[in-house]
């Protein structure tokens, strides 16, 4: 499974997801994307899951 962490998601969480490919929005250069743009970019880039701490994401 390919996973992307949004800003604010604790990066150390990645070590518990050893069987998955985990990237961060910052590593991918997506830090400036809004929530909707980030979700669309992750989906179009083949990510299966976006993990975020943002409670306002629809």
What would the 3-class secondary structure string for the chain be? Answer: CEEEECCCCCHHHHHHCCCCEEEECCCCCCCCCCHHHHHHHHHHCCCCEEECCCCCCC
| pLDDT exceeds cutoff 90 at 14 | yes
Which of the four pLDDT bands, split at 50, 70 and 90, describes residue 56? Answer: confident
Phi-psi region of 15 (alpha: psi -120 to 50; beta: other; left: phi over 0): alpha
| Predicted TM-score (pTM) of this structure | 0.87
From first CA to last CA, the distance across the chain in angstroms is 22
């Amino acid at each position: 499974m390919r996973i992307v962490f949004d800003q604010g998601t604790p990066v150390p969480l990645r070590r518990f997801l050893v069987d998955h490919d985990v990237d961060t929005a910052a590593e991918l250069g997506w830090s400036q994307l809004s929530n909707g743009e980030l979700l669309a970019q992750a989906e179009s880039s083949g990510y299966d899951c976006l993990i975020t701490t943002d409670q306002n994401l629809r």
